């Protein structure tokens, strides 16, 4: 029997970020949990995330703007803000804080989801 490991979501943040860093923290069945670290990055113009699985995302540090297709303005996110993006909900990161690292926790869920 293996013993659970204690880790810290803010440990080992990458020192330089030419691109966003996606790191899978845990995965089981239809669920994947990942840490995303950004520092001034945004989704390239004209590109959208259009995922086949729902994604629950929590902003832990920094700040960002998330644009949902069909909305006029990006939704500003600050630490503690979270939202559920249903499968096929086209979205893009409009901006992330260029002066401090933005740390996200994303939970990808396969199959039908219930938004609470």
The structural domains of the chain, ordered by start, are: 21-109 (2.60.120.10)
What are the DSSP E strand ranges found in 19-88?
Answer: 21-28, 31-38, 54-61, 64-68, 75-77, 82-85
Please, which residues have CB within 8 angstroms of residue 14's CB and are 6 or more apart in sequence? 21, 37
Report the chain's mean pLDDT, rounded to a whole number: 92
Q: What is the pLDDT along the chain (116 residues), one digit of tens a residue?
A: 788 889 999 999 988 788 899 999 999 999 999 999 999 999 999 999 999 999 999 999 999 999 999 999 999 999 999 999 999 999 999 999 999 999 999 999 986 555 54
**What CA–CA distance (Å, rounded) separates 85 from 91?**
8
pTM over the 0.85 mark: yes
């Amino acid at each position: 029997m293996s013993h659970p490991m204690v880790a810290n979501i803010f440990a080992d943040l990458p020192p330089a970020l030419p691109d966003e860093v996606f790191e899978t923290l845990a995965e089981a069945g239809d669920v994947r949990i990942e840490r995303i670290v950004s520092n001034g990055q945004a989704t390239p113009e004209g590109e959208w995330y259009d995922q086949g699985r729902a994604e629950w995302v929590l902003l832990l540090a920094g700040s960002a703007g998330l644009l949902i297709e069909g909305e006029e303005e990006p939704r500003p996110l600050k630490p503690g803000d979270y939202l559920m993006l249903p499968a096929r909900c086209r979205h893009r990161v409009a901006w992330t804080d260029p002066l401090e690292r933005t740390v996200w926790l994303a939970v990808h869920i396969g199959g039908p989801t219930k938004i609470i």
